[in-house]
Amino acid sequence: MLFRAGTVSTLLASTLPVALGQYVRDLSSEDWTLSGRALNQTVPAQFPSQVHLDLWNAGIIDDPYLGLNDFNLRWIADANWTYTSDPIEGLLDDYDSTWLVFDGLDTFATISFCGQQIASTDNQFRQYAFDVSEALGACEADPVVSIDFGSAPNIVDAIADDPNSQTWPSGVQITYEYPNRWFMRKEQSDFGWDWGPAFAPAGPWKPAYLVQLEKTEGIYVLNTDLDIYRRGQINYLPPDQSQPWVVNASIDFLGSLPSNPSISIDVTDVDSGALLTSRILENITTSDSSITGITILDDLTPKLWWPQGLGDQNLYNVTITVEDNQKQPIAHVSKRTGFRTIFLNQRNITEAQRAQGIAPGANWHFEVNGHEFYAKGSNLIPPDCFWPRVTEDKMTRLFDAVVAGNQNMLRVWSSGAYLHDFIYDLADERGILLWSEFQFSDALYPSSSSSFLENVAAEITYNVRRVNHHPSLALWAGSNEIEVLMLLLVQEADPASYPYYVGEYESMFITLFLPLVYENTRSISYTPSSTTNGYLSINLSAPIPMAERYDNTTPGSYYGDTDHYNYDTSVAFDYGSYPVGRFANEFGFHSMPSLQTWQTALTDPQDFAFNSSVVMARNHHDPVGGLSTTNTTNSAIGMAQMTMGVLSYYPVPNIPADPTANFSAWCHATQLFQADMYKAQIQFYRRGSGMPERQLGSLYWQLEDIWQAPSWAGLEYGGRWKVLHHVARDIYQPVIVSPFWNYTTGSLEVYVTSDLWDGVSGSVNMTWFDLQGNAIPDNAGTPRQMPFSVGGLNTTRVYGTDGASLNLPDQNDAVLVLEMEGMGKRPNSDQATASESRFTHSNYVTLAWPKDLRLVDPGLEVRYQRDRGTFVVRATTGVSLYTWLDYPKGVVGYFEDNAFVLVPGEEKEVGFVVQDDPPDEGEWVRGVNVRSLWDQKGTVIHS
Ligand SMILES: *[C@@H]1O[C@H](CO)[C@@H](O)[C@H](O)[C@H]1NC(C)=O
Ligand SMILES: *[C@@H]1O[C@H](CO)[C@@H](O)[C@H](O)[C@H]1NC(C)=O
Ligand SMILES: *[C@@H]1O[C@H](CO)[C@@H](O)[C@H](O)[C@H]1NC(C)=O
Ligand SMILES: *[C@@H]1O[C@H](CO)[C@@H](O)[C@H](O)[C@H]1NC(C)=O
Ligand SMILES: *[C@@H]1O[C@H](CO)[C@@H](O)[C@H](O)[C@H]1NC(C)=O
C-alpha cells in the first residue's frame, strides 16, 4: 500500500468519491499549528478552523462571546495568521498529478507547499484546486502545507484607498462596525450587523484535501450538479406536472477524461432501498473540467418530495458513475435528492384569478409540485460567528425547533455564507424549504471591476451547482435589500447618479447572475433582490434578460413581496400600518434574550441591568456605524424602542428589592411585546390568503441568534425559545382562529384561516370571562358558538361586532376566549383511505392593553408528573394571561406549549423536549417555575 496504515484506514472510512487510481488525503487528519507575529508563539490548531477558536483552545484568549470581547479581540482581526501542517508523510511521487483542494478559505489566503508559494485566494465562498505536482516533485522532504491569512479589515481598507477602486455617493454605503466590506467576498456580517458582533474571523473554515491521480486519464470529482425537473421546464414558468422527470447530471473534476467516456446512474429509494431505475445518460458533453449527461425517466413515477405539513419527504439516492470506453468506472459520486418542482410565481394576475376575486397586479408566491401553498417561517442568519463550530448536532436542534414551530420555509439571508450541504440535508429530511441567496446585502458592490465580477461569477456557479440536488432548495435570490433599499438611498443621496446605479444593479444582478443560475439549473427560479415588485417581463435574449417592475405599478393592484419595520411602537398593533401585499418576507421588532441566556455572556453582577454599559454595547440596533467602543448613541435608540414597547402596552416591571429579577422581568416584557406584534402581523398576513391580495407567505425576521444580545430572533443563542417562537408556533398551525380588534374604530372580528388544501368546517366557541374567571352575564351579547366552513387556503369571517355595543360591565376586566374545532383533510394524506383530521386552536382577545387590565393573582401552580415526564399547570384564583413556564440555565430544550391562557380550574399538561445532554432530571425539574402577566408587576420568582 502506498500510505502508512493509519492513513489508509482514514481513506477507506471516508465518504469521499474515490475511484481506482486516485488517493485522497483529508487534511483534517494532519496535525496543524497556528502562528502569527501578534502571538509570538505557535499553538496547536484544528482543521477546519478559525483563528479565534484556536486561540481560545490554546488559552490565549477567553470565550470571544463574553462581555465586551467583541471589542477587546480586535487585535486578532488586525493581524495576519498562518496555519501550518506537520510534514505530510506517505505521499509518493510516481503519481501523474497531485492537487491541493480547498473547500473554503476565509478569506485572503496565500498557500505554500513545500516552501513554494502556490497561489493566493480572495473568496471565502469558492472551492479552489491547485496543481502541486511540480512542487511535490521538487520537494526534498515530506511536504508542509502552510496557509497565510491576511487581515481582512486591513486588506479591504487598502483596496478602498486604492485610487483605482470604485467609489459611491457619500451617505449610501452602510457600515456596521468595520468599513469597506463590499470589497471582499467574505461573509458580510463578519464586519458587524445590527444583530451581531464583528470578529472578522480568518482561517480554513471548510475541509481541504490532498489528491493524487495515478494515471493521466483519471478524474477526481470536485463538485456535482444534479438537476431534476419536468421535461420542458423553464425556470420562470410553471412546470407541467404531466411531463416525465428529467435527470441531468454534471460533474466538475480534476484530471482528464479518457476518450468516449459515459455516465450511468442508479436511482434508489432511500426508504425501501428499492432500485427505481438504472440508466445510461444520453447526450454526453465534456469540457476540460466537466462532463454532463441527461436522461428522461419516461413511465416512472417516483414518490414526490413535499415540504413539512404538505406530505412526505420522500428521498432518493442517485449514484452517478463515470466510465471509460471499456466500461471501467473512473469516478462515482452519490447524491441524496428528491423529486419535486418548486416555482416562484411572479406572473401577472390572470383573468381566471381575477374572477376568483384576486386583485390585479402580479403574483408573488411559491408553488410546490404545481400547488400553491402558504409559506410559514422565518429568516435564517448565520447560526454562529464561527462556522467551524456550527456542528450537525447544533443544526439538528435548530431544525427540530423549526419543525416544532410549524414552519415550512426559511429564507437563508444574504450575507452570511452559503450553507454547508449537511444543513441542506437536514432541511431535505425535515421538509424545510430554503429560499437561498447570494451573499450581497445592504451595500453597492464594485460592479465596474471586471476582476470582482469574475470572482463572484465563479462563486455563484460553484454554489448553484453544489446545492442544486437538494429538494429543500426553493429559490435563488441575488441579494438582500439592494433594489428596495440601496437604490432608494442612491436616489436620496445623489438623484443625478440614480440611473447609473440602476444600470450597475441590473448589469450585475440580472445580466450577469441570471444566466449563471439558469445555465446551471432548470429547476430553480431566480429573483435579483429579496424584496421587489417583481418583474414586468423576461426575455432571455435581451441585453437585460429580466425587466424589473420597480415603481411601474397601478394603485389597487398588488405586486411583489413586502418587508415591514416600524419602530414607532404607537402603531405596533394598528392593522392599517401593515403592508398589504402578496408575501411578507421580512418583518419584526427586537427584544432582549432571557436572563438565563444573558448569564452565559455577562459576568459582573452589575452588568445585569437593562441599560448597563455591557448590555448597551452588545445592542447593535441602531448600528454603531464604526469601530467606536464607547459611542452608545445609536444603541440607546434601540433600547428606547424596546422600552417604549413595554411602557405603552404592558405592566411595568418594578422589583427594586431584586435588581436581577427586575432585569429578568424587563427582558421578558420586551419578549411579550415582540411576540404580540409578530402574532398580530402573522394573523393579518395569513388572513390575507382569502383577501384580494391573496397573501401566501409570512417569513418573520429572524429565526435565531448569532450570539447573546438583543435582536429580532425567536430562538436565543444556545437554543432557548423566546416567547416569540412559542407564539409563532401556535399561530403557524394549519387552521387558526384569530381575533381582529381594531382599537381605533372599536370593531371586533373573528376569522378562521386555513392553509389546508381542502375545506374545513366546524365551530368556534366564544366565551367572555372577567379576570377572576367568572363568566360575563349573557356572554356580553356575543353568541356562544358560531359554525364555520372555510375553503382550502382561505379565510372566513366567523363573527363581527362593534366593541362598544358589547354588554361588558368593564372593558378592562374582560377577556374573550376563542376555541375552534374543525374537521378537514391534511394535504397528500392517502386520498383513498384517509379520514378527516380534527384541528383545534385557541386564542383570546382583550379590548384593552395588558397594562390597563384589572389583573388578579391567578394563583398559578405547577407540578411535575415524574411518571409521565410532564408538567401540570393550573390557575386557581384568576385568569392567567401569558402563562410562562421557565426552566433553569444549562438545560437545552423547549416546552411543548407556553405563553398560553388559563382560566381558573383549567389544567394544562405540558411536556418538555430535552434536546441535548439531559442533565439530572431530579435537579432541573425542580428549577421549573411558572409566571404570568400578573407577576410582571413585581412578584419575585425564585428558581
Ligand atoms: C507579542 O510581542 C509583542 C512585542 O513584544 C507584544 O507587544 C505583544 O503583546 C505580544 N503578544 C502577545 C499575544 O503576547
Ligand atoms: C500583514 O501582511 C501584509 C502583507 O504581507 C503586510 O503588508 C502587513 O504589514 C501585515 N500586517 C501585520 C499587522 O503584520
Ligand atoms: C443513500 O446514500 C446515503 C449517503 O450516501 C447512504 O448512507 C445510504 O445508505 C444510501 N441509501 C440507499 C438506500 O442506497
Ligand atoms: C439528446 O439530443 C438530441 C439532439 O439534440 C435531442 O433530440 C434529445 O432530446 C436529447 N436527449 C435528451 C434526453 O435530452
Ligand atoms: C405584465 O403586466 C405588465 C403591466 O403591468 C406588462 O407591462 C407586462 O408586459 C406583463 N408581462 C407579461 C409577461 O405579460
DSSP string, 294-315: EEEETT--PPBB--TTSS-B--
**Of the candidates 313, 371, 318, 310, the residue with the CA atom closest to the CA atom of residue 342:** 371
pLDDT in tens, 444-488: 999 999 999 999 999 999 999 999 999 999 999 999 999 989 999
Task: DSSP for 880-893, please give it.
Answer: EEEEEEE--TT-EE
Cα of 210 vs centre of ligand 4, distance in Å, is: 38
Question: Is 158 close to ligand 2, i.e. is its CB under 6 Å away?
Answer: no
One domain for residues 681 and 757: no
Q: Strand 526-527: give its sheet, edge to edge.
A: 526-527, 473-477, 433-437, 409-412, 375-380, 697-700, 584-587, 562-564
Asked, for residue 752, whether it belongs to a domain, the answer is: yes
Predicted pLDDT at 93: 66
- Is the pLDDT at 16 greater than 70, yes or no? no
Q: Which residue has the cell 473512473?
A: 330
One domain for residues 116 and 192: yes
| CB-count burial class (<10 Å; 0-12, 13-18, 19+) for 919 | middle
pLDDT in tens, 210-252: 999 987 788 999 999 999 999 999 999 999 999 999 999 999 9
Asked, for residue 602, whether it belongs to a domain, the answer is: yes
Q: Give nearest CA residue, ligand 1 atom 7.
A: 38
Domain boundary pick from 792, 825, 853:
853
C-alpha cell read off for 690: 382569502
Task: Say how far apart CA 613 and CA 408 lie, in whole Å.
Answer: 39
pLDDT in tens, 667-711: 999 999 999 999 999 999 999 999 999 999 999 999 999 999 999
The parent domain of residue 689 ranges over: 560-711
Predicted pLDDT at 10: 36
- Is the pLDDT at 921 greater than 60, yes or no? yes
| CB-count burial class (<10 Å; 0-12, 13-18, 19+) for 922 | exposed
One domain for residues 154 and 21: yes
One domain for residues 77 and 131: yes
Pocket perturbation via mutation, ligand 2, pick of 80, 107, 155, 159 by most ligand atoms within 8 A of CB: 80
Question: Is 835 close to ligand 1, i.e. is its CB under 6 Å away?
Answer: no
Domain boundary pick from 827, 853, 879:
853
The pTM assigned to this predicted structure is 0.96
Q: How confident is the model at residue 180 (pLDDT cuts 50, 70, 90)?
A: very high
Q: How confident is the model at residue 15 (pLDDT cuts 50, 70, 90)?
A: very low
Least confident of 144-153, 297-306, 715-724, 826-835: 826-835
**Is 317:334 a contact under the CB 8 Å cutoff?**
yes
- Is the pLDDT at 829 greater than 90, yes or no? no
**Of the candidates 550, 557, 473, the residue with the CA atom closest to the CA atom of residue 505:** 550
Asked, for residue 288, whether it belongs to a domain, the answer is: no
Question: Is 284 close to ligand 4, i.e. is its CB under 6 Å away?
Answer: no
Which atom of ligand 2 lies at the shortest distance from residue 78's CA? 13
Question: Is 40 close to ligand 1, i.e. is its CB under 6 Å away?
Answer: yes
Task: Say how far apart CA 54 and CA 44 lie, in whole Å.
Answer: 7
One domain for residues 869 and 826: no
Cα of 15 vs centre of ligand 3, distance in Å, is: 11
Predicted pLDDT at 831: 56
Predicted pLDDT at 828: 86
Cα of 657 vs centre of ligand 1, distance in Å, is: 46
Predicted pLDDT at 922: 75
Report whether the peptide linkage leading into residue 107 is cis, meaning its omega lies within 30 degrees of zero. yes
pLDDT in tens, 855-882: 999 999 999 999 999 999 999 999 999 9
- Across the range 415-433, mean pLDDT stands at 98
Angle formed at CA 421 by CA 419 and CA 424, multiple of 5 degrees = 75
Which atom of ligand 1 lies at the shortest distance from residue 60's CA? 13
Q: Give nearest CA residue, ligand 2 atom 13.
A: 79
Question: Is 39 close to ligand 1, i.e. is its CB under 6 Å away?
Answer: yes
Task: Say how far apart CA 598 and CA 66 lie, in whole Å.
Answer: 10
Q: How confident is the model at residue 942 (pLDDT cuts 50, 70, 90)?
A: very low
| CB-count burial class (<10 Å; 0-12, 13-18, 19+) for 612 | middle
Asked, for residue 390, whether it belongs to a domain, the answer is: no
Question: Is 547 close to ligand 5, i.e. is its CB under 6 Å away?
Answer: no
Cα of 39 vs centre of ligand 1, distance in Å, is: 6
Helix (H) or strand (E) holding 76: helix 74-77
One domain for residues 810 and 702: no
Q: How many domains are contained in the chain?
A: 4
Cα of 215 vs centre of ligand 4, distance in Å, is: 32
Question: Is 557 close to ligand 5, i.e. is its CB under 6 Å away?
Answer: no
CATH number at residue 26: 2.60.120.260
Q: Which ligand is nearest to the CA of 280?
A: 4
**Is 638:590 a contact under the CB 8 Å cutoff?**
yes
Question: Is 61 close to ligand 1, i.e. is its CB under 6 Å away?
Answer: no
One domain for residues 619 and 762: no
C-alpha cell read off for 721: 425559545
Q: Which ligand is nearest to the CA of 73?
A: 1
- Is the pLDDT at 810 greater than 70, yes or no? yes
**Of the candidates 107, 224, 263, the residue with the CA atom closest to the CA atom of residue 462:** 224
CB count, 10 Å around CB of 622?
15
Predicted pLDDT at 9: 33
Domain boundary pick from 186, 210, 234:
210
Predicted pLDDT at 238: 98
Q: Give nearest CA residue, ligand 2 atom 3.
A: 150
Q: Give nearest CA residue, ligand 3 atom 11.
A: 270
- Across the range 523-545, mean pLDDT stands at 97
Q: What is the mean pLDDT of the chain?
A: 95
Cα of 44 vs centre of ligand 1, distance in Å, is: 18
Which atom of ligand 1 lies at the shortest distance from residue 39's CA? 13
One domain for residues 767 and 840: yes
Task: DSSP for 570-639, please give it.
Answer: GGTT-GGGS--SS-EEEE---BPPPHHHHTTT--SGGG-STT-HHHHHH--SS---SS-SS--HHHHHHH
Asked, for residue 942, whether it belongs to a domain, the answer is: no
CB count, 10 Å around CB of 687?
23
One domain for residues 695 and 748: no
Which atom of ligand 3 lies at the shortest distance from residue 335's CA? 5
**Is 688:580 a contact under the CB 8 Å cutoff?**
yes
Q: Give nearest CA residue, ligand 4 atom 14.
A: 294
Catalytic center residues:
481
Question: Is 294 close to ligand 4, i.e. is its CB under 6 Å away?
Answer: yes
Write the CB contacts of 544 (distance below 8 Å, at least 6 apart in sequence). 506, 507, 510, 511
| CB-count burial class (<10 Å; 0-12, 13-18, 19+) for 76 | buried
One domain for residues 114 and 194: yes
Pocket perturbation via mutation, ligand 4, pick of 233, 248, 263, 283 by most ligand atoms within 8 A of CB: 283
Cα of 37 vs centre of ligand 2, distance in Å, is: 10
Question: Is 348 close to ligand 5, i.e. is its CB under 6 Å away?
Answer: yes
One domain for residues 706 and 740: no
Which atom of ligand 2 lies at the shortest distance from residue 80's CA? 1
Strand-strand pairing, 375-380 and 870-874: unpaired
Q: Give nearest CA residue, ligand 1 atom 8.
A: 38
Predicted pLDDT at 917: 78
> Which percentage of the chain shows pLDDT scores above 70?
96
Q: Which ligand is nearest to the CA of 43?
A: 1
Predicted pLDDT at 4: 30
Write the CB contacts of 470 (distance below 8 Å, at least 6 apart in sequence). 337, 421, 424, 425, 427, 428, 434
Which atom of ligand 4 lies at the shortest distance from residue 294's CA? 13
- Is the pLDDT at 833 greater than 70, yes or no? no
Which atom of ligand 5 lies at the shortest distance from residue 361's CA? 5
Question: Is 823 close to ligand 1, i.e. is its CB under 6 Å away?
Answer: no
> Which percentage of the chain shows pLDDT scores above 90?
93
Q: Give nearest CA residue, ligand 5 atom 6.
A: 536
CATH number at residue 655: 3.20.20.80
Per DSSP, helices labelled H in 722-772 are 723-731
C-alpha cell read off for 10: 482514514
Predicted pLDDT at 395: 98
Q: Which ligand is nearest to the CA of 39?
A: 1
Q: Which residue has the cell 508523510?
A: 89
Q: How confident is the model at residue 830 (pLDDT cuts 50, 70, 90)?
A: low
Asked, for residue 750, whether it belongs to a domain, the answer is: yes
Q: Give nearest CA residue, ligand 5 atom 4.
A: 536
Cα of 283 vs centre of ligand 4, distance in Å, is: 6
- Across the range 364-385, mean pLDDT stands at 98
CATH number at residue 883: 2.60.40.10
Write the CB contacts of 185 (distance below 8 Å, at least 6 apart in sequence). 107, 122, 123, 124, 125, 126, 439, 455, 456, 459
Q: How confident is the model at residue 550 (pLDDT cuts 50, 70, 90)?
A: very high
Asked, for residue 755, whether it belongs to a domain, the answer is: yes
Asked, for residue 344, whether it belongs to a domain, the answer is: no
One domain for residues 106 and 59: yes
Task: Say how far apart CA 275 and CA 617 lie, in whole Å.
Answer: 58
**Is 432:379 a contact under the CB 8 Å cutoff?**
no
Predicted pLDDT at 213: 93
- Across the range 751-775, mean pLDDT stands at 98
